Amino acid sequence: MAVPDLADSPPVRRLADWDDQQLRSLAATHDTPLYVIDLDRVQANYQRFSAAFPDAHVMYAAKAHTGQSVLSALLDVGADIECAAWGELQRSIDAGADPNTLQYTAVNPPDHDLDYAVDLADDAPGLTITIGATDTLDRLAERGYDGRIAIRINPGIGTGHHEKVATGNDAKFGIPYEQVPEVAERVREEFDLVGLHSHAGSGVLTDDLEDHCEAIERVGEMARRVGDLEFVDIGGGFGVPYREDEPPLDLDKTAEMVRAAVGEIDAQLKLEPGRYIVADAGLILTTVNTIKETPTATVVGVDASLATLIRPAMFGSYHPMRNVSAPDREAEPVTVGGPVCTSADVFATDRPIARPERDDILTIGNAGSYGYELASQFHSQPRPAEVALEDGDDRVVRRRETLDDVTRVEQ
């Protein structure tokens, strides 16, 4: 894979920057709904972020998109992988990652997850397990594990685009701040304490940086209290603009503020971007099947649904949309919804879009992160195919499911 030139890679990729003709061709060849992921853009985003933090160790948060094509593309440009579940560990290894470089951030881990991680560490002692509860230490000790541990801190400050992702102030995540020194002492007695970890929230843009950095300051302070660490991991959470009028994250300003917030630490700084790397590298193609005029709205029915992309229903998220079949038609306010039998199955309400007609192809942008990852088979809908763009070519990296795939596990 050719490494992309950052000079040709803008800080954000808008829907209008995609090639409409290519997207129409992909829809005609592979049917819809269809996920498209641009691997060249994925690599460029990682390289741009890494260049802003030249002294830090930048990992990729796999949960944003665990597709093998994405993981392999990032490994090709030197990324290490942070995982939040045993399946992500295995998929990273399948993509070519050295298990000694993986970091497993355990959140209320099921027994199977801990069994897998401990077995993996027997042959890969470089694996790091991040714990957010002393119970997890007890359970690891019961399994005979005495290896590398990072402590996840709850800084008491949450940031991000929605309350459901403001993990830094959610009791579910991390050791309460003032308990960390005591827990660190225990870890040093029974395990190998190598780092501190924290994640304040997700979808942080330039205007959110002050709150985000307030949480990071507390992590830096705790690192100096605990001392003798290999790394301090401040997580990810760095966002991309979903709305057309939002500016991209100012990476230079972000890097400057993050370094100042962390302060002087005798440890490697780690970051774990996920959304920033893949969000604007992916989109969904969907076909218009119904146009319905009502007294209150023009309803445009499409073949994608909340089973394809749940973020609008789950978070109230805005995703840009574009009519790639006729982008120059006059725009009209329309409501775009899918075939699922719930009022939550709506992608846009009263959104100005070049007037859709039946069989037009619409795009749903910024679908590269937490898109396919959260796709489901609700209404017995097989999940869509995914096509990757790479070095000017396209290839299917996930085939379209069939009804047999939906029912295969039934007995």
Residues designated catalytic: 341
Binding-site residue positions:
237, 272-275, 311, 370
Q: Quick one: pLDDT at residue 173?
A: 73
Has residue 317 got a pLDDT over 90? yes
Has residue 166 got a pLDDT over 90? no
Q: Quick one: pLDDT at residue 223?
A: 96
Has residue 236 got a pLDDT over 80? yes
Percent residues over pLDDT 90 in the chain = 87
Confidence class of residue 211 from pLDDT cuts 50, 70 and 90?
Answer: confident
Cβ burial of 289 (10 Å; 0-12, 13-18, 19+) is middle
For residue 33, cis peptide bond before it (omega within 30 degrees of 0):
yes
**Residue type at position 117:** A
284: number of Cβ within 10 Å: 28
Has residue 3 got a pLDDT over 50? yes
Q: Per-residue pLDDT tens for 8-55?
A: 678 999 999 999 999 999 999 999 999 999 999 999 999 999 999 999
Closest to 194 in 3D by CA, of 137, 136, 135, 127: 127
61: number of Cβ within 10 Å: 27
Q: Which domains does the chain have, with CATH numbers?
A: 98-272 (3.20.20.10), 280-407 (2.40.37.10)
Binding-site residue positions for substrate:
275, 311, 370
Give the pLDDT mean for 175-203: 92
Angle at 114 between CA 112 and CA 117, to 5 degrees: 110
Collapsing DSSP states into helix, strand and coil, what is residue 159?
Answer: strand
> Distances from the Cα of 119 to the Cαs of 63, 194, 395, in angstroms?
22, 19, 35
Give the pLDDT mean for 208-217: 86
Task: State how far the Cα of 133 lies from the Cα of 115, in Å rounded to an integer.
Answer: 17
Check residues 145 and 107 and name the one with the higher pLDDT: 145
Confidence class of residue 398 from pLDDT cuts 50, 70 and 90?
Answer: very high
Q: Quick one: pLDDT at residue 209?
A: 84
Average pLDDT, the chain: 93
Confidence class of residue 6 from pLDDT cuts 50, 70 and 90?
Answer: low
> Distances from the Cα of 42 to the Cαs of 48, 67, 89, 335, 393, in angstroms?
10, 12, 20, 31, 15
Give the pLDDT mean for 76-103: 98
Confidence class of residue 158 from pLDDT cuts 50, 70 and 90?
Answer: very low
Percent residues over pLDDT 70 in the chain = 94
- Distance between the two ends of the chain, CA-based, in angstroms? 43
Check residues 164 and 394 and name the one with the higher pLDDT: 394
Angle at 72 between CA 70 and CA 365, to 5 degrees: 10
Binding-site residue positions for pyridoxal 5'-phosphate:
237, 272-275, 370
Give the pLDDT mean for 346-358: 98
Confidence class of residue 2 from pLDDT cuts 50, 70 and 90?
Answer: low
